[in-house]
Copies of this chain bind each other. A is one copy, B any other.
Amino acid sequence: MQEDSGNRTAQATASNGARKPASGTSRASRGPSIGDVAKAAGVSSQTVSRVSNGLTNVEETTKNRVLDAMKQLGYRPNRAARALKSGQFKSIGVIMFTLSSFGNMRTLDAIATAASQAGYSVTLIPLHDPTTGTVSGAYHRLREQEVDGVVIIFEAHLLDHADITLPEDLPAVVIDSNPGSGYPMVDTDQAEGARFATKHLLDLGHQQVWHIGGPPSSFSAQHREESWKRTLEDAGIDAPPVLHGDWSTESGYQIGLELGRNPDVTAIFAANDQMALGAMRALHELGRAIPGEVSIVGFDDLEESTSFWPPLTTVRQDFHAVGRLSIENLLQQMAGNSPVNDATKVPTQLVVRKSTAAPAK
């Protein structure tokens, strides 16, 4: 029912096909070209091009004739040809080590939306092995793929290790990096969020706030930790030692076990919701009431966090804004505007639920 319709245009290819798929060139039954449309409409190909690009200097009737021909033939401009001619690819690359984190995913979602609204497609460049070799491979691939700009989503220490150098004329935006990276940066205001969380616990009357940190190699984690520490110090409190997890619930669980055994611990700020969840599990197992004996605050605001037991007080990140602003910045750069070198910070929001309360006296 759908296999005998192949004889539409060409006779140049009339004799091949039947044999075997050959090297791989065969199946590209190309669609109608600008020339086919021109022939059908009885105009020159240049006129078709003008219509296709929305130029105004085409007479109404001619234009309609061309449009009809396009529709009839199902014409679609060939991006490859366009890119070759114009040197632009209308594509934005996203370099990332993993999609599997909640934040990255949401950010990517926003990036894809914003990019597609601006007429750009998004090409994924996954990097799974953070070694020099792999990253430079990705760099190469980037060049090959000829994107017009890139968004780099990963923790900047990997960037450093990787010794990645993007083509100097390639617009780039970095997410979750340090400000000194040389690229414009867009990120959640980590410091603000951590301050909100810490202050919330302090305001409830806790004398001390313990911290479950993210991996020290992560700039997000560093910023949250620094801000937590500074907030305590501003309140005249010496910060207790930090226990570092790796963002996973499991690491949060282990650290929660440790903290939970210490009766002095009444307030915990975890660097993300998953570690907070793990810690809550540990506290449950130890029989420590939340928030009766121990209060806990997370960071991220996962969709699930509202249904954790108890529902988790946390800091909401606006990943959507991060993604959107990244693209805006990138588009600016691509438009040739001065390289925007500032660090855009996206505000956070404290979401108070049931995992925090005043300490028992």
Q: A residues near B, CB below 8 A?
A: 2, 5, 20-21, 24-31, 76-81, 83-84, 86-89, 91, 98-100, 105-106, 108-109, 112-113, 116, 121-126, 128, 140-141, 143-146, 167-169, 248-250, 252-253, 274, 277-278, 280-281, 284, 302-304, 306-309, 311, 334-337
Could you list 23 examples of A-B contacts with CB < 8 Å? A5-B168, A21-B335, A21-B336, A21-B337, A27-B334, A29-B169, A79-B145, A99-B109, A109-B126, A112-B124, A116-B126, A121-B123, A121-B124, A121-B125, A122-B124, A123-B124, A124-B124, A249-B307, A250-B306, A250-B307, A277-B308, A308-B309, A309-B309
Are A307 and B87 within 8 A (Cβ)?
A: no
Contact partner of A336 (CB less than 8 A), chosen from B2, B26, B249, is: B26
State whether A25 and B76 are in contact (beta carbons under 8 Å apart), knowing that A109-B100, A304-B277 are contacts in the complex: no
Residues of A contacting B: mostly: mixed
Q: What's the Cα separation between A31 and B277 when bound, in Å?
A: 50
* In contact, A140 and B76 (Cβ under 8 angstroms): yes
The smallest beta-carbon distance between A175 and chain B, in angstroms, is 16
Given contact pairs A80-B80, A116-B124, enumerate 19 new A-B contacts (beta carbons under 8 Å): A20-B336, A21-B336, A24-B336, A29-B169, A31-B143, A76-B144, A99-B112, A100-B106, A122-B126, A123-B123, A248-B303, A249-B307, A274-B304, A274-B307, A277-B304, A281-B308, A281-B311, A304-B304, A309-B309
Q: Are B307 and A252 in contact (CB under 8 A)?
A: yes
Contact B124 A2 (CB under 8 A): no
In the assembled complex, the CB of A227 is this many whole angstroms from the nearest CB of chain B, namely: 25
Give the residue of B86, B105, B167, B334 whose beta carbon is less than 8 angstroms from that of A99.
B105
Cβ-defined contact, B281 with A309, below 8 A: yes
Could you say how many copies of this chain the assembly holds?
A: 2
Determine the distance from Cα of A101 to Cα of B146 in the docked complex, in whole angstroms: 30
Which residues does chain B contribute within 8 Å of A280, judged by CB atoms? Answer: 307, 309
Q: Given A86-B25, A121-B124, A126-B116: A309 and B284 within 8 A (CB)?
A: yes
Q: How far is the CB of A230 from chain B (nearest CB, A)?
A: 30
CB <8 Å contact, B336 and A307: no
5 nearest interchain CB pairs? A21-B336, A28-B87, A80-B83, A249-B307, A76-B143
Inter-subunit contact A87/B30 (CB<8 Å): yes
CA distance A309 to B25 in the complex (A): 56
The complex places the Cα of A128 from the Cα of B169 at a distance, in Å, of: 32
Are B27 and A336 closer than 8 Å at their CB atoms? yes
Q: How far is the CA of A339 from the CA of B78 in the complex (A)?
A: 26
- CA–CA, A201 and B280, complex, Å: 27
